Amino acid sequence: MKIAVFSTKVYDREYFEKYGKDELFDFTFFETSLSAATVNLTHGFDAVCVFVNDKVDDETINGLASNGVKLIALRCAGFNNVDLESAKKNKIKVVRVPAYSPEAVAEHAMALILTLNRKTHKAYNRVREGNFSLNKLIGFNLYKKTLGVIGTGKIGAAFCRIGLGFGCKIIAYDKYPSEELKTSGVEYKTQHEVLEQADILSLHCPLTPETKHIIDAEALTGMKEGVMIINTSRGALINTGDILDGLKDGKVGYLGIDVYEQEENLFYKDLSESIIPDDLILRLNSFPNVLITAHQAYFTKEAMTEITITTLNNIKSFKKGELLENEVS
């Protein structure tokens, strides 16, 4: 079975070759992302394997179908970058990795909180330069702070457990509240109440038409002055223009993001010698109370192993004509 793997980095190839060597898979690795402009590369392949910033829209899927591709294997949980209606129309199956070490993302969210709060990144740089001053490095105790969580799926649940361990009061919103989390001390409220009462807000919901720009000017109006907002889910949950206004007027006291609305043009690339044309990311980077990481929350050995093995099993099930446990429909 011939599989074209797009948006490939050195570590992707390493893990696929390590865990797929005993299977009858013929992988071809492309560094470029999949889109309508690159779909011609899929000619002669049975399946494509794609990641979060590959653009699998209607035009791309029509090209895949013309080239004989029968399977789109996502090596991630999110599928908002795939036109599912077009895939169905073209009789192309779509599979994903629904969960891969949710603790990895949850732990990274807490790392963003701790770094922003205690300014360890700034302290590190100061000490390296021989500056041992504590000026402007003051933080606050997480203990007894109200931690708001939007989305309590596997990642959100893992984050709640971490927050409880710090002695935080956890309030959460989800369409489907978890009885287990309720028992452990998580208090479910309306989305409005969570936004209104949280000292720290962490987003762990998928990107859907309903959740796009869940944090915008209107949402910020009802939030606490100086609120900390953390996003390790999908960039478009936050309206970047509105969050910049919130940072400027002090409504947002801290912002930690591992995802960004226009990240497909930036993340996973070395642009250190380039002129970055994205004014919004440059403005975000200019704020001392903003911390940005380049979609690395998932990036642990455990998660990479789980992503690879699940993706290979998805492809194997398709090849054998078995029930696709992780099919997206």
For 265-317, what is each residue's pLDDT tens digit? Answer: 899 999 999 999 999 999 999 999 999 999 999 999 999 999 999 999 999 99
- 197 close to 148: Cβ distance less than 8 angstroms: yes
Q: Any catalytic annotation for residue 295? A: yes
Strand, coil or helix: 50: strand
CA 37 – CA 42 distance, rounded (Å): 11
Instruction: Name residues whose C-beta falls within 8 Å of residue 92's C-beta, 6 or more positions apart in sequence.
Output: 61, 64, 65, 69, 70, 71, 72
**Four-residue CA torsion sign, 228, 244, 259, 92:** positive
- 63 close to 48: Cβ distance less than 8 angstroms: no
- 113 close to 119: Cβ distance less than 8 angstroms: no
Domains of the chain as residue ranges with CATH: 2-100+301-320 (3.40.50.720), 102-292 (3.40.50.720)
Q: What's this model's pTM, rounded to 2 decimal places? A: 0.91
SS (H, E, C) 139-156: CCCCCCCEEEEECCCHHH
Instruction: Annotate 221-232 with DSSP letters as a single string.
Output: HTSPTTEEEEE-
pLDDT, tens only, 24-79: 789 999 999 999 999 999 999 999 999 998 999 999 999 999 999 999 999 998 89
Q: Any catalytic annotation for residue 263? A: yes
Q: Any catalytic annotation for residue 234? A: yes
Tell me which of 234, 273, 322, 327 is the catalytic residue: 234
Q: Where do we find the tokens 């936050």?
A: 238
Instruction: Name residues whose C-beta falls within 8 Å of residue 252's C-beta, 6 or more positions apart in sequence.
Output: 220, 226, 227, 228, 229, 243, 246, 289
Tell me which of 204, 213, 263, 264 is the catalytic residue: 263
